[in-house]
Structures are given as C-alpha cells and as structure tokens.
Structure 1
Amino acid sequence: MSESKDGGDHEDGEVNMAAWILGVKNLSIQPYPLPLLGPNDVKVRIKAVGICGSDVHYYKTMRCANFIADKPMVLGHECAGIIEQVGSEVKSLAVGDRVALEPGISCQRCNFCKNGRYNLCRSMKFFGSASNNGSLANKVVHPAKLCFKLPENVSLEEGAMCEPLSVGIHACRRANIGADTSVSIIGAGTIGLVVLLAARAFGASKIVIADVDDGRLSIAKDLGANEIVQVSTSIQDLEQDVMKIQNAMGCGIDVSFDCVGYNKTMSTALDATCPGGKVCLVGLAQTEMTVPLTLAAVREVDVIGIFRYRDTWPLCIELLRTGKIDIKPLITHRFGFSQKELEQAFETSAQGGNAIKIMFNL
C-alpha cells in the first residue's frame, strides 16, 4: 500500500489527520503525512491518547524544559491502538492486534543504548517532543519492537496509561522499593499517583502522600495511600510540614519521591527522609533549585534522579492484566477527536483543578 502526499492511503482515500501545535495555545487538526512503512515497522490506528504535563507545557509555551518546538509539531505520546499493517520482517505482531506504544526511539548505537540505559540516549526521537511528531493522530508508523500486545482484559485506554505508569515503575526500580520500604510521596498529581500505585505493587510497607490539594489527596487515599497529609506551598512552613509527614508515617521514611520539583517540595523530601535513606526527584518543575543538600549529605541521604523510563511496558501490562494495579480511576475526563474537543481538552488540562488524566478516544 503506498502513501499519498497528504498522508492518506490510496487504497481507501482516507487522509491521516493529527493534532498540530502551531504556536502558543494554537492547536489545529491538519493532515499528517506518514513515512513509508519500513520492514521492521507497523502502522497503528491510534484509539486512545492521554494528555501529559509536557504536552501542556508545549501548548502554553512551545517548550518543555530544554526541549523547544521551533516549528509546528504533532503532539501526544501516551497512546495505544490497533495494528493496521506490518512490515515485511515483523513476526511478533499481526493486523488486528491491540498494542500499547513506547514512544521513544533510541539510536541503539551509543554507549547508553549498548549498556541498556537507552532512556539516556542523546539521539532519542521521542513522540511529541522537540519537533519530533507525536501520536495524537489517526495513524502512526512505529517500530514493531516498541509496540506491546495487550491482553484481552486490558483496554486501549489502560494501554495508553502504560506510559505515565512507566514513570512510576522506573522511579520505584531506581529507588529499590520493596516489602520493607516506607515511602513518602510529595505531590498527588498524575505522576505522584502512578508512583503510589507502583510503590504499592512493589510491596512498600507504608505510603504517605502529601499535597496542597485536598481533592487530590482524597483520590490518593482511594488509590491506597496509608496516610494523606495536606501541606503548604510556603517555605516558611517547611519544618511544620516535615513534622506532619514524619508523624503520619510513624516510623523512619526510607524513600521520599518528589513528584513536583520545587525548592519547597525537594527541601521537604530531603528533611523528612531518615538517615541512610533516599530521595528520588521525579518532578521537574524548576530547572534550578536551592535546597539543604549539606544537611542531607551528613545524614547520608542519597539523591537520585530519573528520566522517563526503560524496559517497563511488559511489567506495566502484566500488573494491569493481573489487577495488581488499577489505573482506570486516574482517567477523569474524556474527549473525542474534533477541533472543538481538542481545544477544550487542552484548556481543561492547562487549568488543572480536578483533572487528573485527560484521554482522547479516536
């Protein structure tokens, strides 16, 4: 099957459409020509796409941290769909298979890739990031090895949620969460909640989650947090908030996850963690911070970071299949794929409020 210049398939005359970011708060559903199908690629009809915080950053500013969209770009990277075509060398997948897509294509040649840390590849081509087109489209072409078949009891929406869940899985692996680990989580947004779900699945002995929003805290409680703590945004309340978190835990905090990434949240995590413990920085709200590192260092508190994930999709899918993780409650809003709904969905996500995960159904 050959591709037409407008992105449509000659066979059925259908034009492939996608959600483009053209400028600040300027979204448009326009034709998206697909690349030719390579021998190791598959063509996927996308059925579910979630909005990530990084998508919202591009929507608001045309950049996310140091990743800049210097030209129009298709957004989206949390996705799942149905295989429509397979390349000549693809044996693992067939037309009609339901798949979740891992959105980053690494070079497979650099030392990071060769040593298994492909998420750190400097030549990574990631859906909807730094002018790499994303997956909020009718169809995409993607390497077959980055498409993971979904069991019958895992929905396409759950498949799309494997992407944010992967962040939680990778964070818990980096921090070595296990059955004897007491965990505090700062931030009850989407990422804080997936860290909570992952930590529970990894067997953490007790989980305390802190946030400024009591609505999000109630969701965290429903998802299995042992204790919830409402904290302040003010650095003046740091000592009081640390004491609240420590009292809620009732024992030493082995690992703290900062799922926000501000001076206040990182300082809270560092001060709350017991000597010999770990702080994992997951949220990246600020590129530079002023935090009490020296005081943490003399207590031998290790600071670790994460960037995206690696080798997580099979475990995510297995945890969803077995019911060890129920990701569905995180999906709070659903939209179709029209110009009006596209704009409504991104405005809803940008406003925050009670929106946890916004999902497009295509």
Structure 2
Amino acid sequence: MRALYFDEKLSMVEVPKPSPEDGEALIKVLAAGICNTDIEIVKGYMGFKGIPGHEFVGIVEKSADPRWVGKRVVGEINIACNECDLCKIGLKKHCRNIKVLGIKDWNGAFAEYLVLPVENLHEVPSKVSNRQAVFVEPLAAAIQILEQVHIKPTDRVCVIGDGKLGLLISLSLNAHGVKHILVGKHPEKMKIVSDRGVSTLFPGDVQSFDRFFDVVIEATGNQAGLETALNIIRPQGTVVLKSTYASKASVDLSKVVVNEINIIGSRCGPFEPALQLLEKDLIDVNPLVSQVLPFEKALEAFELAKTKGTLKVILEVEK
C-alpha cells in the first residue's frame, strides 16, 4: 500500500498492508488531516519514525468484532496496554506502555490502511461528512478543556492563538455558551469566530489586560503565547496549555509561584461529544479547511500545511 513515511525525512513509499491482531480492526482510510503535531513530528518531536497522521476517517474492512465491518469510523489515538497501574485506575491515555497513532510506536493515518484496537473506534453519523469527521480528534481535544476546568458564567476567559486548534477551542466554547476573547494575529482567521459573536483582539492590545483573566487557554504553539498567558492571568487563575513543542520552552516559574497560578496541561478529549456537535450542526468546521488534496500530493500538502496563514489541509486518500 502507499504510505507517507518519516525517517529523518518525509517520503511517499510502498509498504506492506498492516494485519490486525486480536482485538484490532483494519481500516481503509478515506481522509486524513494534517495538524500542527504532524508538522512538529517532522521537526523531530517524539523522535518518531514511521507513518505519521492521527486525524482520520475510514471504513472498517476487518474486525475482531464483525459488527464493525463496513462502518465508517474515527478512532481515538491512544493505544493502552490495559494492564499497568495507570490503566487500572482509568488513566489509559497515560498508560506506562502507551502507543499513540502516528505519534509514538504505532503507524498512523497517512496511508491507505491502518489498524487500531476496536475499543478505540467510534461510528460516524451519516449526517457528518468525511471532511467534518477529520476534525473529530482535534475537536475532542478542544472539548477536553471543559472536562478539566469548571468555567463559571462570570469568568473572564481568553483563548490565545488563531490557528486550527485555537479556532476549534473558540468555536467549542462558543457552542457551549462560554463567553470569551480570542487573541490572534490574522484578521481573516479571527473573522471565522467573530462572525459567530466572539470578541477578538490582537496581541498588542491584550497586553493592557494585566493580571485580568480568570482562565487563559494557550494554543499558539510558540513560547510567546505562553509568556502572554502568564502576564494576563489573574492571581490564582488557571492557565490551560494545549501546545506541544519540538523544542523545550522556558517558563518564568517565579511568576507562577508568586501569583499562585494553576497550570493545567490538556491533551486528548472525548469523541462522542465532538461527533454530536458536528451532527447537530452546532459547530461549522468548513471555514477551517484551507485545501483538500489527493493522497498522491501528500508531500505538497505537507509543505502547504507549513505555510503561514494555512489552516487545515486534508488528504483525500480514497474518494
């Protein structure tokens, strides 16, 4: 089968079609999205070698549970051992032996086929298109913030970053009735959420909000966003970190200690609420799609995804 393979450099190769083991399903990939984590991987993040890609939709061709065969699915990306102490207390996505689709020790979705445990699969409602379904994984990550932080109606909330994830977080908060401000640099991107009633600011303007916000969500993917978050969060406020970096970020921990700032790392989230938001048309992800390219143009798609101003680039693997 054709696959996009990373081993110090990215290339299109022919590799054997994977074979599902006990408890796993073989999935024919229909479409896959390129996200910032994929871009960081090709810079060296996680030291990954193999087939990247973790945002996908596909059709189950073989399954340990035959009821899944023929179903259109998305899949949670964490593959747990189900045996370690963390798995046994319900922290499967923090499993001591964790494998992560397209990120750590498990080949991903930039290929014609992939395998995943059946327990990771979620059926896609017929009303949700393939292009929408590609957004389920990052949308679930956005929803995870509301699972981790109790945001009160009176809280002053700020999202920093108008990239793919920042916009999804803003759209998710808006769909859940959480008033907030989005800080970004690109008027055309910020318009996606301002058209839905979200207030927006440029980075230079938000600096005047010294120690003002109750909750700040950092989703810029760079250290400047983290520094801004620590400047505008009020004492005893909560900063939620959504960015991953290939290089290490330095933090002024004295500011965190003196202002008693709560810092929460936030990663993957629940798929079912994300699917419901898309099925009920409570979130429109179509404005976030910059380009859809056929799989044979995967290398070109990656270069496009790296370009400033580009939002989601989707690879159409099977029409």
The two structures share one fold, judged by TM-score above 0.5 = yes
CA distance in 2, matches of 1:193, 1:140: 28
Asked if 1:82 is matched to 2:59, the reply is yes
Instruction: Kindly provide the CA deviation profile for residues 217-273 of structure 1, in whole angstroms up to 9, marking residues without a partner as x.
Output: 223323x352111125xxxxxxx6421x57xxxx95221001125443222212212
Asked if 1:228 is matched to 2:187, the reply is no
Give the residue type in structure 2 aligned to 1:322.
K
- Alpha carbons of structure 1 residues 187 and 225: separation in structure 2 relative to 1, 3 Å: farther
The TM-score, its normalising length taken from structure 2, stands at 0.90
Instruction: Kindly provide the CA deviation profile for residues 93-150 of structure 1, in whole angstroms up to 9, marking residues without a partner as x.
Output: 3322111111220111222222222222231111112453111111222211111011
Q: Show the counterpart of 1:31.
A: 15
User: Match of 2:268, SS?
Assistant: coil
Give the residue type in structure 2 aligned to 1:344.
E
Q: Show the counterpart of 1:281.
A: 241
Query: What root-mean-square deviation, in Å, do the aligned CA atoms of Structure 1 and Structure 2 show?
Result: 2.2
Give the residue type in structure 1 aligned to 2:108.
G
> Which of 296, 310, 314 is the equivalent residue of 1:359?
314
CA distance in 2, matches of 1:105, 1:261: 25
Q: Which runs of 4+ in 1 moved over 4 A?
A: none
CA distance in 2, matches of 1:328, 1:254: 31
Identity %: 25
User: Match of 1:277, SS?
Assistant: strand
CA distance in 2, matches of 1:284, 1:100: 22
The TM-score, its normalising length taken from structure 1, stands at 0.80
**Are the counterparts in 2 of residues 271 and 296 from structure 1 also a CA contact under 8 Å?**
no
Q: Which has the higher contact order (CA 8 A, sep 6+)?
A: 2
**Are the counterparts in 2 of residues 19 and 27 from structure 1 also a CA contact under 8 Å?**
yes
**Are the counterparts in 1 of residues 37 and 244 from structure 2 also a CA contact under 8 Å?**
no
The 5 Å alignment of 1:196-345 reads 196-204=170-178, 206-222=179-195, 224=196, 226-232=198-204, 241-243=206-208, 245=209, 252-285=212-245, 287-291=248-252, 293-306=253-266, 308-310=267-269, 312-338=270-296, 341-345=297-301
CA distance in 2, matches of 1:225, 1:108: 43
User: Match of 2:275, SS?
Assistant: helix
CA distance in 1, matches of 2:288, 2:16: 30
Larger Cα-atom Rg: 1
Give the residue type in structure 2 aligned to 1:168.
A
User: Match of 2:310, SS?
Assistant: coil
- Alpha carbons of structure 1 residues 264 and 136: separation in structure 2 relative to 1, 3 Å: closer
Q: Show the counterpart of 2:111.
A: 137
Q: Show the counterpart of 1:107.
A: 81
**Are the counterparts in 2 of residues 260 and 284 from structure 1 also a CA contact under 8 Å?**
no
**Are the counterparts in 2 of residues 99 and 156 from structure 1 also a CA contact under 8 Å?**
no
CA distance in 2, matches of 1:43, 1:263: 39
Give the residue type in structure 2 aligned to 1:50.
G
- Alpha carbons of structure 1 residues 32 and 20: separation in structure 2 relative to 1, 3 Å: farther
Q: Show the counterpart of 1:187.
A: 161
Which ranges in structure 1 are unaligned for 5 or more consecutive residues? 1-15, 233-239
Deviation of 1:55 (Å): 1.4
**Are the counterparts in 2 of residues 34 and 141 from structure 1 also a CA contact under 8 Å?**
yes
CA distance in 1, matches of 2:251, 2:125: 46
Q: Show the counterpart of 2:36.
A: 53
Instruction: Kindly provide the CA deviation profile for residues 53-103 of structure 1, in whole angstroms up to 9, marking residues without a partner as x.
Output: 1211233x3x11xx103x4x112110111122222xx16x33221111112
**Are the counterparts in 2 of residues 257 and 282 from structure 1 also a CA contact under 8 Å?**
yes
Which ranges in structure 2 are unaligned for 5 or more consecutive residues? none
